[in-house]
Amino acid sequence: MENKEYLKTVRKEMPKSKHALTMVRAFLTGGLICVIGQAIFDTLKYFMPLVVEEMIHQYTITILILITGILTGIGVYDKIGKFGGAGSIISITGFANSVVAPAIEHKREGYILGLCANMFTIAGPVIVLGIAASVIVGILAMIFPGLFLR
């Protein structure tokens, strides 16, 4: 069925993404999100000097996810994503957005079969592969003790 000549023409004639521009935008957006995260982290640490750093990391992530959830709900995050591309997708906020967006969309099909069933349609692969990777790392750590210790 494939018409090689036509596909070649299509590749040549059709407009392409402006990679340089999108990369700069992604860098700036991703960087800004990280700066905001660092600011939240530093503020928390200043006000809670006795809490261990690991816990403050968790608080920071939770706050970022909460902010993204709200921004997605009021229809702002998709505009950030349109500008930032990968910069706002790769960060934890992008993950939060990919869970909240389908949840909002599928709420109309009911809470169980709509919202809950479709919540992870986009984030699902990330979770599955994340767990799979941690299983592999776990097995490696079991076979070679001390491999992942600093």
Partner 1 sequence: MRNQTIYFKNNDVGILETATIAGPKEGEGPLGRYFHNVLKDDLLKQKSYEKAETKIHISVIKNILNKTKLTPRDIDCVFAGDILDEMIVSSFAMREFDIPFIGVYNACASFGEALINASCMLDSGYMNRVICSTSSHFSTAERQYRFPLELGNQRTPLSQWTVTGAGCTLLEKNKNLPVKITCATIGKVVDFGVRDVNDMGAAMTPAAMDTLITHFENTKRKPDYYDMILTGDLGDAASRLLKKLIKRQGYDLDENYNDCGVLIYNREAQQVGQGGSGTACSNLVFNAYIYDKMLQGDLKRVLLVPTGALISKTSTLQGETMPGIAHAICLEAV
Angle at alpha carbon of residue 32, lines to 31 and 35, rounded to 5°: 90
Give me 118's structure tokens.
Answer: 């479709």
Stretch of residues binding partner 1 (CB under 8 A), selected from 46-54, 93-101, 125-133, 138-146: 93-101
Q: How far is the CB of 14 from partner 1 (least distance, A)?
A: 5
Stretch of residues binding partner 1 (CB under 8 A), selected from 35-43, 53-61, 73-81, 129-137: 73-81
Q: What is the spatial distance between Cα 133 and Cα 144, in angstroms, rounded to a whole number?
A: 16
Q: What is the spatial distance between Cα 83 and Cα 76, in angstroms, rounded to a whole number?
A: 11
Residue 60 or 72: which CB sits closer to partner 1?
A: 72
Q: Which of residues 16-45 bind partner 1 (CB under 8 A)?
A: 16-18, 22
Residue 1's SS3 state is coil
CA distances from 70 to 51, 94, 134, 137 (A): 27, 13, 30, 34
Among residues 51, 78, 116, 148, the one that binds partner 1 under rule CB under 8 A: 78
- Contact between 91 and partner 1 by CB under 8 A: the answer reads no
Radius of gyration over alpha carbons of the chain, in Å? 21
Sites of contact with partner 1 (CB under 8 A):
1-3, 6-7, 9-10, 13-18, 22, 72-73, 75, 77-82, 84-85, 88-89, 94, 97-98, 100-102, 104-106, 108, 122
